[in-house]
Amino acid sequence: MARILIVEDNALNIKLFCDLLAAHGHEPQAVLDSRLALDSARSFEPDLVITDIQLPHVSGLELIGLLREDEQLKEVPIMAVTAYSGIGDEERVRAAGAQAYVSKPISVVRFVAEVEALLPKERVLEDAESSPRT
């Protein structure tokens, strides 16, 4: 189970993403107002952040930049979800520091596959790290 922070201003998308992630055993938390996203991320300590790009106040691109500059959150993987898929958009999103890019309307299969690919393979790593090396 992973904690996944969703930053999205559309209530229907929030419901869709939360339902999908919960159905796959994860713990989603949604933030509608991107101005609250950084504080929410600091307290929720997500394993993954999913952010819309078209957001009022603080755009998804700005938020990705803020997360990448934050000492506590800079390593957390980010998946961008965007309705407007123009030329160069994916490059801009990736250059800002997101690891994945999914366009809306989302393909459920693609969405879930991208999420799983970004989550740490925690059990394998923990087992390896807990065994003595010398």
Residue nearer to Mn ion on the CB measure, 2 or 111: 111
Name the DSSP letter for residue 7. Answer: E
What x-and-dash track marks residues 63-92 binding Mn ion by CB under 5 A? ------------------------------
Residue nearer to Mn ion on the CB measure, 29 or 54: 54
Q: Kindly give the residue spans of alpha helices, DSSP state H, lying in the chain.
A: 11-23, 37-44, 60-69, 89-96, 108-118, 122-130
Residue nearer to Mn ion on the CB measure, 2 or 6: 6
Q: What are phi and psi of 78, to 5 degrees?
A: -125, 130
User: Does position 103 bind Mn ion by CB under 5 A?
Assistant: no
How far is Cα 9 from Cα 13, in angstroms, rounded to an integer? 8
The binding site for Mn ion (CB under 5 A) comprises 9, 52, 54
